């Protein structure tokens, strides 16, 4: 794709968001608004990317350094319109080839549509092209004015439009392609003689047209791709549309999504075929789901790897690896650093953190496993607590292969349970248990006969005891 320079306009105040976060940094479907646009234009492989920043400069530039480290940022201190922003981005340069200019708050735009637009611009050898759409509710958008030959005549902003022009449904998307040299020669001629007193990038079209240059309006089929985000209502609307687009993509790729309306998948997630996703599930970040896995219902996975045939039911997991055929849930919480081996189990009401569970090992229910390594084929009894924190530091517990931890055991780290060892139910284990041994860490039981009758006379317990003793 012959695109020399891409200029992203991301300097807006975003006042309608009513947020301390710059508008372009608000997230939807796993990327910031700006991140979605950067992702789309990256598919064009431009020679250079320039991003005009303004409001929240430091935060925006920090974000850009992570999503587009090679991009050049340009600071627009005084927000004097889109034309002024483009002037700053082009200052001191005369770009060759095609220059693509678009806003940084249009998350619905796809790389495919941009490629088609640039291809049409290039094939027509136009000095300038603008991407347009038929919008059912065009209020607020610039209108496309065509001549008697149905060719682009000019673009008029909403505030400068006549009543008749406001009834035009073809809108300016804010996406432009220019011949770089002709753009550089004409953009200096912009004036602020308009309702907003700003330099409009749209006026470049009229300048080129007046100079006898060829300009074009290229209409996109799906107007939703052109939608920008100016407030939180539009942010939510974009999220819903992206949800539907993403879910449709995965269903056509062989993923079963039982209820797409309650399933939210980030654009950064990867899913193999023959995965089943049940209602109320959310897949976020860099999550990857392998073939045959079953997710949900009511499951949230963030930056997780789920291997083939695994099952995650009504659970939450973050930065966790779940092995082949492993089972998780229900009501399980897997925190960062957890690794479940193949055919392992993290069952009902289990919490794990920074823990490795070996192949075939099981933590079936009601347990906390923190900062631990569990070997292969071991079983952790109900209500077992890995006591990893002494109030100052975290400590590690090691459980060997084929170990049996009795119910209601407390493993006070640092401690090691050797291969094949047992612990007795109700034990507090503070010392290492050698391989093949049983660790018993509980006081000797003592029954005080008649205690209830003496200490709790007249209670229902005492009455029951009296009846039993008579």
Between strands 368-374 and 397-399, the pairing is parallel
231 burial type by CB count under 10 A (0-12 exposed, 13-18 middle, 19+ buried): middle
Cβ pair 411, 386 in contact under 8 A: yes
Distances (CA, A) of 467 to 451, 452, 454, 455, 456: 15, 13, 15, 17, 15
Q: Which residues does residue 152 pair with via DSSP β-bridges, in sequence order?
A: 146
Q: Which residues does residue 8 pair with via DSSP β-bridges, in sequence order?
A: 51, 102
> Got the DSSP string for 93-112?
----SEEEEEES--TT--HH
Between strands 98-103 and 170-179, the pairing is antiparallel
User: Which residue is catalytic, options 63, 278, 365, 396?
Assistant: 365
Three-state DSSP class for residue 304 = coil
365 is catalytic: yes
Cβ pair 367, 350 in contact under 8 A: yes
Between strands 438-439 and 422-423, the pairing is parallel
d(CA 47, CA 176): 17
**Residue 251 is encoded by which pair of tokens?**
């269903």
In 3D space, the residue among 378, 372, 374, 377 whose CA is nearest the CA of residue 396 turns out to be 372
d(CA 2, CA 145): 28
Q: Residues with catalytic annotation? A: 365
């Amino acid at each position: 794709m012959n695109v020399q320079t891409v200029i992203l306009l991301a300097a807006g105040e975003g006042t309608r968001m009513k947020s301390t976060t710059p508008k372009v940094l608000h997230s939807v479907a796993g990327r910031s608004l700006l991140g979605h646009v950067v992702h789309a234009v990256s598919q064009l492989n431009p020679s250079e990317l320039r991003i005009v920043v303004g409001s929240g400069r430091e935060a925006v530039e920090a974000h850009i350094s992570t999503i587009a480290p090679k991009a050049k940022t340009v600071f627009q201190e005084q927000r004097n319109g889109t034309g002024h922003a483009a002037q700053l981005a082009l200052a001191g340069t005369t770009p060759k080839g095609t220059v693509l200019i678009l806003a940084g708050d249009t998350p619905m735009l796809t790389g495919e549509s941009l490629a088609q637009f640039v291809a049409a611009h290039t094939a027509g050898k136009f000095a300038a092209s603008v991407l347009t759409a038929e919008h059912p509710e065009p209020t607020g958008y610039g209108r496309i004015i065509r001549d008697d030959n149905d060719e682009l005549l000019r673009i008029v902003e909403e505030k400068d439009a006549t009543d008749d022009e406001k009834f035009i449904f073809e809108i300016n998307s804010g996406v432009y392609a220019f011949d770089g040299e002709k753009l550089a020669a004409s953009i200096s001629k912009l004036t602020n003689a308009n309702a907003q007193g700003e330099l409009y990038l749209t006026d470049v079209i009229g300048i080129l047209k007046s100079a006898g240059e060829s300009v074009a309006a290229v209409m996109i089929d799906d107007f939703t791709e052109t939608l920008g985000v100016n407030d939180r209502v539009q942010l939510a609307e974009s999220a819903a549309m992206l949800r539907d687009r993403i879910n449709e993509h995965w269903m056509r790729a062989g993923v079963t999504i039982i209820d797409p309306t309650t399933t939210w998948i980030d654009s950064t997630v990867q899913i193999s075929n023959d995965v089943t996703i049940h209602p109320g599930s959310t897949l976020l970040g860099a999550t990857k789901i392998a073939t045959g896995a079953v997710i949900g219902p009511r499951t949230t996975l963030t930056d997780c790897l789920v291997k083939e045939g695994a099952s995650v039911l009504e659970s939450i997991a973050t930065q966790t690896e779940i092995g082949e055929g492993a089972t998780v849930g229900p009501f399980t919480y897997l925190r960062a650093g957890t690794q479940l081996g193949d055919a392992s189990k993290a069952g009902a009401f289990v919490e794990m953190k920074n823990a490795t569970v070996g192949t075939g090992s099981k933590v079936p229910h009601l347990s906390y496993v923190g900062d631990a390594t569990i070997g292969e084929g071991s079983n952790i009894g109900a209500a077992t607590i890995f006591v990893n924190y002494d109030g100052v530091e975290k400590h590690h517990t090691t459980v060997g292969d084929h170990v049996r931890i009795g119910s209601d055991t407390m493993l006070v780290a640092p401690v090691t349970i050797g291969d094949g060892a047992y612990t007795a139910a109700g034990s507090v284990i503070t010392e290492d248990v050698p391989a093949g041994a049983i660790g018993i860490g509980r006081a000797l039981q003592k029954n005080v006969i008649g205690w209830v009758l003496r200490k709790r006379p007249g209670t229902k317990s005492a009455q029951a005891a009296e009846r039993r003793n008579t």
